[in-house]
Structure 1
Amino acid sequence: MKHVKAATVLPEELILEIQQYIQGETIYIPKLEKVREKWGSRSGERQRIDERNEAIREAFQNGEKISRLADDYFLSVETIKKIVYTKT
């Protein structure tokens, strides 16, 4: 999260209005929901995890035991259960 000086991006009238509520503090203004990117979408990590989970589901459907999948993927048994028993 980068910091931006309010005076460089906001009109003076808006700054004066905001100062009615807060002065000399840092505030966070979130992105609009439609602009926000989902976690991992930029780095590709979300896609990598989705592909890993699909491979785990396929292995489970082909008879692989949950404990073995947990060992192979370095995940807990509970995490493997969530992956294989959750509908996508």
Structure 2
Amino acid sequence: MKYVKVETVLPDNLIKEIQKYIQGEYIYIPSQAEKKKRWGENSGSRSYIQGRNEEIRNKHSNGFKIKDLAEEFFLSIDSIKKIVYTKDK
């Protein structure tokens, strides 16, 4: 994020109006085009976990036991059950 001096981008009357509410603090103004992304979309974690969960579901449907899947993927048995028994969104 880049900081910009307010005097270079806003008119004086707007600066004075903002100063009625906040003085000497930083303020973040998001862009209008900015769309909020869901958790993990920027880093790729979301797609990694979706792929891992799909692999767990496939292995379970091919006969792998929940206990074995928990050991293989380093997850608790309850976590594997949640993955296996819930539908992917």
Provide TM-score, normalisation by structure 2. Answer: 0.71
> 1:16 — aligned with what?
16
Give, in angstroms, the shift of residue 32 of structure 1: 5.6
Question: Which residue does 2:47 correspond to in 1?
Answer: 47
Match of 1:5 in 2: 4
CA RMSD in angstroms comes to 2.7
Q: Post-superposition shift, 1:26?
A: 2.5
Query: Whose Rg is larger?
Result: 2
Unaligned runs of 5+ in 1: none
User: What corresponds to 1:86 in structure 2?
Assistant: 86
Counterpart CA distance in 2 for 1:22 and 1:76 is 48
- The sequence identity of aligned pairs, in percent, is 48
Q: Which residue of 1 aligns with 2:73?
A: 73
Write the distance in 2 (CA, Å) between the matches of 1:31 and 1:81. Answer: 41
In the TM superposition, 1:30-45 aligns within 5 A as: 30=30, 35-45=35-45
Distance across 2 between alignment mates of 1:80 and 1:8: 55
* C-alpha contact (below 8 Å) 1:41/1:47 kept by paired residues: yes
By how many angstroms is 1:51 displaced?
0.8
The aligned length equals 87
Consecutive unaligned residues of structure 2, counting only runs of 5 or more, are none
Deviation at 1:28, TM superposition (A): 3.8
Partner AA of 1:11 in structure 2: L
Length-normalised TM-score, structure 1: 0.72
